[in-house]
Amino acid sequence: MKSTIILCSGGARSGKSEFAEQLALSLTGRKTYVATGQAFDEEMKDRIKKHQERRGTEWDNFEIPLHLHENWEKISAVSDIILIDCLTMFTSNHLFAYGEVNHQEDANRIESIILDEIHLLLQDINNSENKTVIFVTNEIGLGIVPENKLARYFRDISGRVNREVATAADKIYLTISGITIELKSQEVHING
């Protein structure tokens, strides 16, 4: 049976990760949590620790900040339900990993790297059978236009990454202030 892709989006602290986790836990199968966050400072270390404590022991855990496609085989070999949290951190990790972003050409180059990775990952998922992959992302383009160039590049690239995954997704959920609504639903059989 074809794999299922689900996108869970929302603002910061909206409850989207908790919703995605509960959705994954409601399904039958081996569960894997793929965390993309990196702990560069104490605040981020604390965030990661709180996420880990909330998850508990029901998950196999992978910490993969950049190369999701390269690790797909390893992840999918031990998983039926795969939660990737989150695409926003994955995008910012690429921005910092691939050099300074001083010009639009730099942003275009990095965006191309990220989108290539996303396309390959989506292809991997579509070539797999009986997997449910749940992506978590931030919907960051709803506020004011950022005042600095790097933040604008990040916002724009994140929006395009989200669109790519949303286009491929069978289901999309949006969480606002702890309330989740379904935005897209195709007739699919979710494993579990």
Report which of 42, 78, 43, 45 is spatially closest to residue 62, judged by C-alpha positions: 78
Rounded to whole angstroms, the Cα distance separating 129 from 58 reads 22
Rounded to whole angstroms, the Cα distance separating 109 from 123 reads 21
**Active-site residue, from 51, 67, 103, 119:** 51
Tokens of 58: 């029901």
- Whether the link from the prior residue into 86 is cis, omega within 30° of 0, is yes
Rounded to whole angstroms, the Cα distance separating 183 from 192 reads 21
Q: Please confirm, yes or no, whether 51 is among the known catalytic residues.
A: yes
104-127 and 87-97 are packed helices; what angle lies between their axes, rounded to 10 degrees?
Answer: 130
Angle at 175 between CA 170 and CA 177, to 5 degrees: 175
As annotated, the active-site residues are 51
